[in-house]
Amino acid sequence: MAELGVLQRAFHSSFPTYVNLLNRELRGCKSVLDLGCGSGSPLKYVKKTFYSVGVDTYWPSIEKSRKAGIHDKYVKEKVLNVRFKEGSFDCVVALDLIEHLDKKDGHRLIRLMDRIASKKVVIFTPNGFLKQDAVEGNPYQLHKSGWSAEEMKTLGFDVYGLNGIKSIRGEQARIKRRPKLFWEAVSMATQPFVFRRPKHAFQIFCVKRKDI
């Protein structure tokens, strides 16, 4: 596992990754709304130069996030029921959220995010449908829909591929092939290939820029 740690550190310093993209897209934003923030939002890895609000409907997740000090404020509410003014946040993010909604509500979510965001909308999701049941007793972790790279492009997003070739990973982004260490390395090695070819990636990072 020590070898894997060294490999991962080298990878993150050399190639575009989830955290690197988040840092890049949130640079210059003064306010961020994190819909479906969960207990451990990836925003905890981003250099905090902005005011952020986390929204989630599952109270135990909010409590864990609050203890970790990830956001400045929290709202316990279903994401489709939030009431924020038009353009009230520079950026609105939904990180591993949209796949938990059916397609109709997923499109409603995108329209809602587009209305609230003044600069950009960021969505991170599996590339296509990925089966997942409830996790740690949280029924909201069930996957209900899949979103492809091409579909997100038609909705006005720039799309980047992440986490390597799609076939290597499975539920909760775990490596599903053995030996695990070897396939982890293969997944990392294929990241530069899928970054600009998102239809082949396991996950997609989607950005709609409104201020250009």
pLDDT of residue 133: 81
Range of the domain at 158: 2-209
Query: Total domain count for the chain?
Result: 1
Measuring CA to CA, which residue among 190, 114, 188 is closest to residue 152? 114
Number of other residues whose CB lies within 10 A of the CB of residue 150: 11
Cα angle 15, 68, 130 (rounded to 5 degrees) comes to 50
Tell me the whole-structure pTM to 2 decimals: 0.90
At 10, which CATH number?
3.40.50.150
* Per-residue pLDDT tens digits for 106-151: 999 999 999 999 999 999 999 999 988 866 667 777 899 999 999 9
Low-confidence ranges of the chain (pLDDT < 50): 1-4
pLDDT of residue 2: 37
Q: Sort 27 into a burial class: Cβ within 10 Å, 0-12 / 13-18 / 19+.
A: exposed
